[in-house]
Amino acid sequence: MKFAQGDPFSAMCYGFAHCYTAFTTGPMEIIMLIKIAVIAVLIVIVVSLFGALRSLVRNQEGDKQRTVKLLAYRVGFSALLLVLLGFAFAMGWIQPHGLKG
């Protein structure tokens, strides 16, 4: 998408994904949705991990399958989190920053 020199939108449109989000919902809403999704997936990962720990410590019949299933869910949600962060980075919604010291 090309803009004329001096057009106010030309400064904020530096990639296709950013141009698209700038004219639909706005980049701030997308960034907030990504943050909420990351926090939600992290909570699901922690809940799954502690559920597996609980079933491992309880050590009753049939809990071994539950432990394995919960740990598999944790691995799956961790992979989902990596894919989500990679996609958000590729679309330009999140950007890495260095440590300020």
The pLDDT score that the predictor gives to residue 23 is: 47
The pLDDT score that the predictor gives to residue 95 is: 81
The pLDDT score that the predictor gives to residue 1 is: 47
Residue 16: which of 4, 24, 8, 7 has the closest Cα? Answer: 24
Sequence spans of domains, the chain: 26-91
Q: What's the pTM? A: 0.67
Q: What is the pLDDT along the chain (101 residues), one digit of tens a residue?
A: 454 555 454 445 555 555 544 444 557 788 888 889 999 999 999 999 999 999 989 888 878 888 899 999 999 999 999 999 999 888 888 887 777 76
8 A C-beta contact, residue 3 and residue 13: yes
